[in-house]
C-alpha cells in the first residue's frame, strides 16, 4: 500500500492599510454641487394628476351625446350593445366595451358588479342579501335585476366601505 503525506502550508493574513484617493479637490466638489443645485431649480416636475376620464362620448339615435362621468348611474351590456344610463334615466349607446369603459372610470366611484354591469355608487338605492350573493336596486331603476355573485360580494362590500 502506498501512502502519501501532504503537508499543508500555513498562511498568516495581515490586513493592509486601505487608502482612498480622491479625484476631486474640495474646491472642485463645491463647484459641482453649486452647478447641480442651480440645475435642480430650473427643472420642473410634471405629475400625472389622473388617467380617468371626465366624460365619454355616446350615441342616442343619430345624435352624439357627451355624458359626464359624474352623471353616470350604471353601464350595462345587453345583446353585445353597451348602454350608458345617466342619473335622469336617459339611456345612450357607447361603442366601447365594458372592459375599456371600466379601465377609464375612477374605481373609487364605479364597481364592476358582474360581466354585464358597471355600477356607480351614487345609483345604489337598496342592497338585498340573497343567499351568499346580493341584489342591487338602483335609482333610476334598472330594467334587468342586478346581482352580485358570492365571489364578488366581499369585494363589493369592501368597495362600499372604502
Q: What CATH number does residue 66 fall under?
A: 2.40.50.1020
Q: 104: Cβ–Cβ under 8 A, 6 or more apart, which residues?
A: 51, 52, 53, 56, 96
* 162: confidence class by pLDDT, cuts 50, 70, 90: confident
pTM of the model: 0.69
Reported as a pLDDT band with limits 50, 70 and 90, residue 43 is very low
Number of C-alpha atoms within 13 angstroms, CB side, residue 45? 4
pLDDT above 60 for 48: no
Q: Is 36 inside any structural domain?
A: no
8: three-class secondary structure by DSSP = coil
Q: What is the DSSP letter of 105?
A: S
Average pLDDT, whole number, for the chain? 82
The answer as to whether 31 is a domain residue is no
Nearest partner of 95 among 124, 68, 65, judged by Cα: 65
**Structural domain includes residue 50:** no
149-153 mean pLDDT: 93
Q: Burial, 126: exposed, middle or buried (Cβ in 10 Å; 0-12, 13-18, 19+)? A: exposed
Q: Which domain holds residue 72?
A: 55-161
The total number of structural domains that make up the chain: 1
Amino acid at each position: 500500500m502506498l501512502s502519501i503525506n501532504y503537508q499543508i502550508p500555513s498562511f498568516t493574513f495581515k490586513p493592509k492599510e486601505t487608502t482612498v484617493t480622491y479625484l476631486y479637490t474640495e474646491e472642485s466638489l463645491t463647484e459641482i454641487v453649486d452647478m447641480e443645485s442651480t440645475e435642480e431649480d430650473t427643472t420642473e416636475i410634471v405629475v400625472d394628476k389622473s388617467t380617468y376620464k371626465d366624460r365619454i362620448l355616446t350615441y342616442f339615435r343619430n345624435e352624439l351625446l357627451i355624458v359626464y362621468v359624474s352623471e353616470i348611474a350604471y353601464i350595462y351590456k345587453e345583446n353585445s350593445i353597451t348602454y350608458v344610463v345617466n342619473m335622469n334615466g336617459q339611456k345612450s349607446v357607447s361603442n366601447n366595451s365594458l372592459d375599456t369603459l371600466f379601465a377609464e372610470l375612477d374605481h373609487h366611484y364605479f364597481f364592476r358588479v358582474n360581466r354585464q354591469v358597471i355600477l356607480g355608487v351614487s345609483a345604489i338605492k337598496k342592497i338585498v342579501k340573497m343567499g351568499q350573493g346580493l341584489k342591487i336596486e338602483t335609482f333610476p331603476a334598472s330594467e334587468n335585476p342586478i346581482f352580485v355573485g358570492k365571489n364578488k360580494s366581499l369585494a363589493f362590500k369592501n368597495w362600499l366601505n372604502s
